[in-house]
Structure formats: structure tokens, C-alpha cells
Structure 1
Amino acid sequence: MTTFNAKPDFSLFLQALSWEIDDQAGIEVRNDLLREVGRGMAGRLQPPLCNTIHQLQIELNALLGMINWGYVKLELLAEEQAMRIVHEDLPQVGSAGEPSGTWLAPVLEGLYGRWITSQPGAFGDYVVTRDVDAEDLNSVPTQTIILYMRTRSNSN
């Protein structure tokens, strides 16, 4: 019997799964599901406690590198009482997602929400939301996802 040591490629499976979830459950349910998946991933892969945003950014990039999920830039927006999260090189599930190629973006909402709220000084009821309008596909790659983290009372 011949055995191969190649790693399995799940891209075809994930594409078919993404289409089925979107078709059967709808976009809103899919996004809720993927946010929960992101929170679950964050619970299994946790950053150490960090005292600065710069230190947290370094640690999050190390974790993202371990799973080949791109990299992040964190920016505090004091005037808006928010954090801007720019994620580059999100893995794609074919053309799935809106805009095309961004099907996994809701995972990032759950992932960053849990990672950041686990840090010292994080308090309140936070929400992470995606800013699709800022993801101008003419100026940034499709795999660039822009998120904002705000307290729930400031999320509108």
C-alpha cells in the first residue's frame, strides 16, 4: 500500500461548506455562527497579558502567524473611544463572502473581541464591527478587513 505524507487540503470542502451554510442558513445566521467560531478559536489560542497596544499587536501577530491567518495592526482612536483593527491577508474561501473572498471576516470579529477583552484594563460591554465601506476594494486588497471595537453604547 502506498502512503502519502502530504497534508490534506480542505479548500474544496470549505468552499462547498460556505455555499451550503449561506444557502441554507442565510447570511445573518452564518455571520453569527462564524463570530462564535472566532470566539472559540480565541479561547484555544490566547495571547499573554500585555500592558500596551504595541505589545498586544506583536503577540496577536505571533498567534496569527502560527495559524497562517495574516497579520494585524491595532490603533487606539481616543477621540472616538474605539480601537481600529486592520487585518491583512485573511485566508479566502474561494470567492465566498461579501465582498467576494471575505467569507471568514466574521470569524475575526469574534477572535479579536475575545482576545482584546481578555487584556488588563479591558472593561465594559464591547462590540467588534466590520467597516465594509472602509474596505475600498480599489485601494486595498480583498483580504484586508477593517474592524472597529467600541463599547456597546458607542457602537452606533
Structure 2
Amino acid sequence: MQQFNDAQRVQDYYRQRQQQPGWFNLVQALFSGILTSAEDEDAREFLKMIGGNLAAQHTLPAAGTVGELEDNLNALLARFDWGVVSIDATGQYLSLRHLAWPVPSQGQDDILWQTALIAVLEGAYSQWLNAQSNHAQVPVRWLETTAEGGFIFRYQNGL
């Protein structure tokens, strides 16, 4: 049932959004240049830093519940047309499912784009969540990309 809900949510999101060709192409070129000209880990760390810096410029309002946190994150993501996130909380960690992320133009390297976007999102989510909880050193980590195209991240102390 979750897969159907995710697919419907993604379709609804894309129906309501349109990409701006010039800016999106520029970002794709920058991501590609960074990932192809630097060592893999250096490039990913640089892109995480970029995501963290962007998140620091667009602060997340304080949230009292996981539902408020999810709503606040989705409001920020909507500003950038970066998709939507849903959060599941356990006693040990938060699981973030990021859907409807910006897709690359036809003919672009999908894997390269996803790698860059995942790194930027790791940095942004780390900044936003650490600012909420005052844990300056807890990173958000990408775990997997689902068959439906959702990025799964985990926020967990000691991961």
C-alpha cells in the first residue's frame, strides 16, 4: 500500500510543478563538473557542504512534533521544487523518504545526477535536523534508493 501512496504522491507533485530550463541545466552542469573532476569522496563532501550551507541560509522553523517537522521540511522543499519528504520515527532514529526529486533532462547521466542530489540532500537534512535537536555532529545518511525512485535517509546518533 505504501508504494501506491508514494506513486500517487509523486504524480500529484509533478503535475503541480514545472522546471525552469536555464537554472536546472546550470545546476546539472555544475554537479557533473564537480563529480567528474574531483575524487568521489571529496566531491560528495563538497556537495554535502553546499547542501548544508543552503539549508543554513533557509532555516527550518522549530517543530514540536514529527508531524510539524515534516510539514516544515516540505514547506522548505517546496520553495526549491525539490520534492516532498515523509518521516517515520522510531525510538532510535528518524527515517526520511524523499520523493519527487528534480529529475535530470533527457540525455543526462541519471546516476551522476542522483549521486550529486543525494549528497546535497544529506548536507541540507543534516543542517536542518541538527539545528532542531542541537546535535551539531549527527549526520543524515543516505541508505538506499527504492525501486520507485524514493531516496531513503536516516538520522541517527552514532550511525
Q: TM-score, normalised by structure 2?
A: 0.76
Matched, 1:61 2:74: yes
Give structure 2 stretches of 5+ with no counterpart. Answer: 1-19
Q: Report the residue type matching 1:10 in the other structure.
A: W
Equivalent position of 1:46 in the other structure: 59
Considering only aligned residues, what root-mean-square deviation do their CA atoms show, in Å? Answer: 2.1
Q: Report the residue type matching 2:154 in the other structure.
A: Y
Matched, 1:89 2:95: no
Matched, 1:131 2:143: yes
| Structure 1 residue runs of 4 or more that deviate by more than 2 Å after TM superposition | 10-20, 92-98, 121-125
> Is the partner of 2:26 in helix, strand or coil?
helix
Q: Report the residue type matching 1:90 in the other structure.
A: W
Identity of aligned residues (%): 25
Shift in alpha-carbon separation, 1:125–1:13, aligned structure 2, 3 A: closer
Give the Cα separation in 1 of the matches to 2:136 and 2:36.
35
Equivalent position of 1:24 in the other structure: 37
Matched, 1:107 2:120: yes
> Which structure shows the bigger proportion of residues in helix conformation?
2
Give structure 1 stretches of 5+ with no counterpart. Answer: 1-6
Matched, 1:150 2:150: no
How many equivalent pairs are there? Answer: 137
Greater gyration radius = 1
Q: TM-score, normalised by structure 1?
A: 0.77
